[in-house]
Structure 1
């Protein structure tokens, strides 16, 4: 399925209008529909008013309760998938301030307990040294000191033992020469240090063996409810069960190719030594 950014915004209002029209065509009230779906009338009202985006399972319950014809079910489910997908472009983030984006990520980190990161070509902010964080925002115009400070502050979540983190880094992500050689060695040493935290599993995928899959993007899965996928010009946020499940399956396959614990640190130490030599 192809998602156009403008369509993702319109689809939420379109979904609300479609569900409202289908209910009215069926000739039943919001209260009666809510009873059939085991939902509150307030939730049905908020869905039809586009105040909340219903999960796919909620949409399927509503369509079944309204006895909607199969061809309309298919079209509405497609619309629901689009409504459960969010596009965040980098230019909008810069206009509203990168500190706001850091606060949004901190909110996701507060509300989630299990985190899965696949890092294709760069180190994520939670694992970055101050030098790496500054370099990652150096290309953005203006003073980004507050965003840098917020990004570093978010790293404290790694020490919350009620949460668990799994990071999978390709060899390219670890070794990409994003900083001068001495600073890169420090960054890789930092990865080895974080890998010893009790609630963190940090694995590396060396380019030395057979890896049957070829992921195209960095992605993160929060619990089993949200997947974010990064591109050059923004990020897609998926909340639909089918999409999140697909990334969970990809993550599990990539995890099988990764090395953890002491095996991981052997590779990290060797890569850091190359930068030091």
Structure 2
């Protein structure tokens, strides 16, 4: 769970603890008896060790005579859920919905800062590369296979590369040029796409070479939208970072990673070397 989600959960627990004391329940045990709960559940909720359900909030506020706060606290619970969303929940009906959800974020963002250490960023992907990524996700997360429509929604983002005055600052690790997604032909087309994107006036594409001296560990990939939102993907979930001090850390990390990146001719040479690698690889 992200730091912000945990802090929000702890703040919610503190409010619940205040409600309990205001109502005259001098201990968690007393409230647990009134709610017919385990005492340990009251303690976990008050200390932010357990997610509160909407039903928990209603029961707690009713028992402590704070019914007027139910709607506010339920909104807080839903916000915590939004900060950390399991992939299985997001794609339970397929990947198209999640892809569609990202479009408004892309539409209103003016400056993108993107870091992917080992794969090509979604907006830069070819249709075949994206299809392979979605197929891997279908197999791994076991959700309904809607790859074709999901790819279509992902490719819709690419129109923002050509519209408005958006700035794209994108860093890829050199490994992203070699991670074999879909086989040699798919990879060669994807690498050719990267070379074409280099020519776009509002795209700044850098590669962090494998042997580059680094100012910070390469860590996980992230996508930063202006100074308002950072999305981080893990195998199990995606979490949103919206707290200013955490966003500042991601901005600092991006700046440090950028110091290790190469651009222009040096970048082109890395891409062409990777292309030759796949040229020499037999097709299955």
Q: CA deviation at 1:11?
A: 2.6
Matched, 1:153 2:156: yes
Q: CA deviation at 1:84?
A: 9.9
Question: Kindly tell me: are residues 197 and 161 of structure 1, through their superposed partners in 2, closer, same or farther at Cα, counting changes over 3 Å?
Answer: farther
Question: Kindly tell me: are residues 250 and 152 of structure 1, through their superposed partners in 2, closer, same or farther at Cα, counting changes over 3 Å?
Answer: same
8 Å CA contact 1:227–1:244 kept in 2: the answer is yes
Q: Under a length normalisation based on structure 2, what TM-score does the superposition of the two structures give?
A: 0.70
2:9 counterpart (1, 8, 11): 11
Partners of 2:226 and 2:192 lie apart in 1 by 28
8 Å CA contact 1:8–1:86 kept in 2: the answer is no
* Structure 2: runs of 5 or more not aligned: 23-67, 139-143
Partners of 1:138 and 1:206 lie apart in 2 by 28
Aligned to 2:216: 213
8 Å CA contact 1:129–1:187 kept in 2: the answer is yes
Q: CA deviation at 1:171?
A: 0.6
Give matches, 1:118-133, under 5 Å: 118-133=115-130
2:244 counterpart (235, 241, 244): 241
Matched, 1:110 2:113: no
8 Å CA contact 2:2–2:239 kept in 1: the answer is no
* Structure 1: runs of 5 or more not aligned: 25-44, 54-78
Matched, 1:198 2:240: no
Q: Under a length normalisation based on structure 1, what TM-score does the superposition of the two structures give?
A: 0.72
* Larger CA Rg, structure 1 vs 2: 2
Partners of 2:108 and 2:270 lie apart in 1 by 33
Partners of 2:96 and 2:11 lie apart in 1 by 28
Partners of 1:118 and 1:190 lie apart in 2 by 18
Q: CA deviation at 1:161?
A: 3.9
Aligned to 2:57: none
Partners of 1:164 and 1:16 lie apart in 2 by 41
Aligned to 2:42: none
Q: How many residues align?
A: 227
8 Å CA contact 2:95–2:146 kept in 1: the answer is no
8 Å CA contact 2:215–2:259 kept in 1: the answer is no
8 Å CA contact 1:13–1:50 kept in 2: the answer is no
Question: Kindly tell me: are residues 228 and 161 of structure 1, through their superposed partners in 2, closer, same or farther at Cα, counting changes over 3 Å?
Answer: same
1:180 counterpart (178, 183, 192): 183
What root-mean-square deviation, in Å, do the aligned CA atoms of Structure 1 and Structure 2 show?
A: 3.4
Matched, 1:163 2:186: no
Question: Kindly tell me: are residues 114 and 16 of structure 1, through their superposed partners in 2, closer, same or farther at Cα, counting changes over 3 Å?
Answer: farther
Aligned to 2:72: 49
